[in-house]
């Protein structure tokens, strides 16, 4: 596992849409022009969001894009500065998902592997989150009202995960305590494509 909090220099990766892979219920994220650096809303335990909820319109919709990378097919690359997660497909293509990322002070970069997978994972808010939102439960069993959403991919030995959310409107925002969130329909799709041991590269911005 390799972790760093340094911001990496970068440029915007090619993002020309080739084919949209859409489906499920509609969830509308904020347009990029309206994005704040940090979205000032709290988690909402108990708010129900099913497996079918996906981002179906706009830049955060799941779609195939041009993506230049020397990484082998199957590698997951996260560009938190652009709010996108990519699965490298080879031939300069990748499947791209819109994501929510860590708020200011909770961004990170590095290289890890998917060490565990879980369906409807339980939730234990970390101390940093409880300091900001003391009303949160200390433990919540998995289910449609759980802020961890429908699936979770655990990242190495860190406390961070790629997971679903019961707040799909937060996709494209900096809101989490360091985890990466997708709409439930998108994390279900990602979960099926990413096996244990998959390399995950986290970058603040796209790089050459």
- Give the span between the Cα atoms of 134 and 113, in whole angstroms: 31
Q: Which of 65, 78, 174, 179 is catalytic?
A: 179
179 flagged as catalytic: yes
Number of Cα atoms under 13 Å in the Cβ half of residue 95? 15
* From 83, 163, 181, 203, active-site residue: 163
Distance from chain centroid for Cα 207 = 19
Rounded Cα–Cα distance for residues 168 and 79 (Å): 19
Query: How long is the chain?
Result: 208
Q: Which two tokens stand for residue 86?
A: 């990519």
Query: Between vectors from CA 100 to CA 155 and to CA 164, what angle results, nearest 5°?
Result: 60
79 given a catalytic annotation = no
Give catalytic residues, as residue numbers. 163, 179
């Amino acid at each position: 596992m390799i972790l760093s909090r340094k911001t990496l220099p970068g440029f915007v990766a090619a993002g020309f849409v080739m084919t949209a892979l859409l489906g499920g219920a509609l969830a509308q994220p904020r347009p990029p022009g309206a994005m704040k650096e940090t979205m000032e809303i709290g988690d909402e335990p108990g708010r129900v969001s099913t497996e079918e909820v996906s981002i179906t319109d706009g830049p955060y919709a799941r779609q195939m894009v041009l993506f230049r990378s020397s990484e082998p097919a199957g590698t997951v690359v996260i560009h938190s500065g652009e709010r996108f997660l990519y699965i490298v497909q080879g031939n300069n293509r990748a499947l791209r998902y819109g994501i929510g990322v860590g708020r200011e002070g909770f961004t990170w970069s590095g290289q890890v592997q998917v060490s565990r997978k879980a369906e409807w994972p339980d939730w234990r808010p970390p101390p940093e989150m409880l300091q900001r939102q003391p009303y949160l439960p200390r433990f919540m069993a998995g289910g449609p009202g759980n802020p961890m959403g429908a699936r979770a991919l655990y990242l190495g030995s860190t406390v961070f995960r790629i997971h679903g959310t019961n707040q799909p409107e937060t996709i494209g925002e900096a809101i989490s305590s360091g985890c990466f969130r997708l709409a439930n329909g998108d994390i279900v799709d990602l979960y099926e494509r990413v096996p244990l041991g998959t390399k995950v590269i986290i970058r603040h911005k796209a790089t050459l």
